[in-house]
Amino acid sequence: MNTVLHSQRVSSGALHRSSHEPVGWSARRFRLGPNYGGQRVSWVETLHRNSWYSVGDEVCLRLQCSRPNISSAASSVEYSSVQTEIQYSIQSRVEVSQSSTQRQEGSSSKTQQSTYGPSAHVTATGRVVAIGDIHGDIQKLLDCLKISGLIREDDHGIRWIGGDATVVQLGDVLDRGDAEISTILLLRELDKQARQDGGAVHMLNGNHESLNVAGDFRYVTPGAFWESAMAAGLSEDDALRSKEAILQARWALYRPGGVMAKELSRNPTVLIVNNEIVFAHGGLLPHHVKYGVQRINDEVAKWMKGADCTDGSAPSPPFTAMGDSNSVMWNRTFGKERCSPYDRIQMKRQLDATLQQLGAKAMVVGHTPQMTGLNAECNGRIWRVDVGMSSGVLNAEAQVLEFSKDESGNLQASLLTPDFTPYL
């Protein structure tokens, strides 16, 4: 079996410095209690249906500081921090994405069985780029895409230039930052563009996506509450008058079966690229593999789509994916930078067993911020890519992991930073 090589292309700026202090949370800690869980919000649903699918099915978010305004007359998404805009249409994006996915799966050497959720296995013909937790910081996402040579920004907006590259974002786009929905829209737009060149942009579901679909809004910032309220169709006057309306508007979007929950249901929880590289937010353990990786993706998608709610009952969150500290989204088995020799031995055993069962060569995880920056253990077979780059976490510099093949076809990995990248 070919081994993964840890490239030595690491600059001095690749490590987090001790001066990086965690940014204090600005979120008002709301939690959706049982009273909200059983309360009908039909008035919010009516609002979000009428405004979300506005004229031409265009979703238009205009970010100004931390307060985005929605306008059905505009036809672009503008990010004031980067002075750029992209065309976006929900209807055309869904149609293009679904048809592209079908073409990609049809070209695979293995016939894929019909599944409820997104496929756990994908094929990549070009390089594979892994991006860690974003947490509502769209500027850091753009930094990652630039140092990876995947996008170009000019007067005409943001364009995909990554060719057949495949991007895997490890989840946790939500919470701790103001630009959540706009970040998701950007990832979806780039996926649409990438698929036209044979590439793809995948976003995984992390524990913060599952928290929001479960109604736990403790880590949502005021700016993100405002963004979701505007996307749900609340007027500025109503949003300013009533915090309760803002909270219920967010629940209408993110509850199982809501517009944003259905959008998140398109994300895999586990993704295996070329049967070589395993991606999971917290990490994949042997008992997860035994349970079934496609089954995990199917159950998360079914829960987020609200598929079990036809009789009025609440859907059950999938335990294996998000139920406890040993679940796919929550476990930190592979994320500990500092651990005892015993814990390191156990980590290696778990990793060996998981990769052997899948016939894979390496695993990439997010979830746990790395104080020393992006790093690897076990001879480059486990990679940790959550570097805490969001301004709501450590405000660290953007770092990206790139997988490619050498001349002999061996899998190799490179660390890309703003100080060292061949693409800038």
How far is the C-alpha of 378 from the C-alpha of 75, rounded, in Å? 49
CB 387 within 8 A of CB 365: no
CB 295 within 8 A of CB 116: no
Please say if 208 is a catalytic residue: yes
The beta-carbon contacts of 155-160 under 8 Å, at least 24 apart in sequence, are 157/76, 157/84, 157/85, 157/86, 157/87, 158/84, 158/86, 158/186, 158/189, 158/190, 159/193, 160/190, 160/193, 160/194, 160/197, 160/199
Q: In what order do the strands lie in the sheet with 128-131?
A: 5-6, 411-416, 400-405, 128-131, 166-169, 200-203
**Short-list 99, 98, 57, CA closest to 259:** 57
Among residues 16, 48, 121, 208, the one annotated as catalytic is 208
Catalytic amino acids? Answer: 208
